[in-house]
Amino acid sequence: MRIAILSVEKNCYSTQRLKEAGEAKGHQVDIIDTTQCYMDITSSSPTVHYKGEVLPYYDAVIPRIGASITFYGTAVVRQFEMMGTFVVNGSLAISRSRDKLRSLQLLSRKGIGLPRTGFACKSDDVKDVIQNVGGAPVVIKLLEGTQGIGVVLAETNKAAESVIEAFMGLKANILVQEFIKEANGADIRCFVVGNRVIAAMKRQAQDGEFRSNLHRGGSATLVKLSKEERQTAINAAKAMGLTLCGVDILQSARGPVVMEVNSSPGLKGIEAATEKDVAGLIYEYIEKNAKPMALKRPA
């Protein structure tokens, strides 16, 4: 099959691994810079152009859409959808995952375990929001933050009020969440492809840090999931409409709670921790579900 990877970072580990794994299975794999795509939007024959050329038909597209280009990136994915191309993650699902507030509301609607979370517009409501999530310590998150950036742990109610008011003063949208102390600075990243968890790792924050992101110095080890944790990850992916994602879970006293669903999870940490060919398993999913474009188009 002919497959495109949409990525602005062609040399990053995840993009290169996807290209390498696809070619090892005999596919033609092209890396396409999402920001250099432009579109001809017509009702009869929608196309995607790239560096002055009309892109050929692809049997499948793997979107690696970074948070900074969500709006434009999802527009490009949507154009491929209009052309009838099989996309591993749809544009609507990617958009949902990038909106932390919307994500939590969708997960809550499906009855999936979540940390108690508050959201408000006015500083007058700050004290009540903090109390509604159980009081300090609380975690304060920027809605637009990624990789642990814009996440603050406030140890006291007074500190939480100050941080929230400061963010609001900058017109930033923030979430206030309960701090899951019993997680001990660790979370579980479940890598979901299709309707199953293909790999999972436990990420542990370094000493003095509560954020377990590998980009912030956290370490990763292989972990065996409980049945409840596995099902929670699968249900979260389904609720978001994602067929490829990373679901981050905390082990709380009341069971697994979902912190985030990432529509463009990195491969480096999960492959190193689990020693699994995650990229290869992604292509197995594509091979089972993508119908070659040659069979879709009229002669």
Residues 6 and 85 in one domain: yes
Residues 268 and 207 in one domain: yes
Task: Answer whether residue 231 is part of any domain.
Answer: yes
Task: Answer whether residue 104 is part of any domain.
Answer: no
CA distance 75 to 19: 23
Domain end among 138, 156, 179: 179
What's residue 123's pLDDT? 77
pLDDT digits (tens, 9 = 90+) for 174-219: 899 999 988 888 999 999 999 999 999 999 877 655 565 655 557 7
What's residue 295's pLDDT? 55
Output the 3-class SS for 220-278: EEECCCCHHHHHHHHHHHHHHCCCEEEEEEEEECCEEEEEEEECCCCCHHHHHHHCCCH
pLDDT digits (tens, 9 = 90+) for 120-146: 888 788 899 999 999 989 999 888 756
Task: State yes or no: cis peptide before 265, omega within 30 of 0.
Answer: no
Residues 82 and 158 in one domain: no
What's residue 172's pLDDT? 85
Task: Answer whether residue 28 is part of any domain.
Answer: yes
What's residue 145's pLDDT? 57
What's residue 217's pLDDT? 56
pLDDT at residue 298 tops 50:
no
Task: Answer whether residue 108 is part of any domain.
Answer: no
Output the domain CATH number for residue 291. 3.40.50.20
% of the chain at pLDDT higher than 70: 92
Task: Answer whether residue 257 is part of any domain.
Answer: yes
Residues 196 and 128 in one domain: no
Residues 289 and 266 in one domain: no
pLDDT digits (tens, 9 = 90+) for 23-68: 999 999 999 999 999 998 876 788 999 999 999 999 999 999 998 8
Task: Answer whether residue 240 is part of any domain.
Answer: yes
Residues 147 and 68 in one domain: no
Q: Which range is least confidently modeled, 1-15, 207-221, 282-296?
A: 207-221
Which strands make up the sheet holding 117-118, listed edge to edge? 117-118, 174-178, 138-142, 151-154
Residues 211 and 272 in one domain: yes
Task: Answer whether residue 246 is part of any domain.
Answer: yes
Task: Answer whether residue 109 is part of any domain.
Answer: no
Higher pLDDT, 209 or 150: 150
What's residue 146's pLDDT? 62
Residues 168 and 194 in one domain: no
pLDDT at residue 17 tops 70:
yes
Residues 250 and 271 in one domain: yes
pLDDT digits (tens, 9 = 90+) for 212-256: 565 555 778 999 999 999 999 999 999 999 999 999 999 999 999
- Per the DSSP assignment, residues forming a β-bridge with 154 are 138
**What is the number of domains present in the chain?**
3
Residues 30 and 70 in one domain: yes
Residues 199 and 263 in one domain: yes
**Which range of residues forms the domain containing residue 158?**
117-179
Two structure tokens written together for 299: 């002669």
Q: How confident is the model at residue 294 (pLDDT cuts 50, 70, 90)?
A: low
Residues 35 and 91 in one domain: yes
pLDDT at residue 299 tops 60:
no
What's residue 142's pLDDT? 86
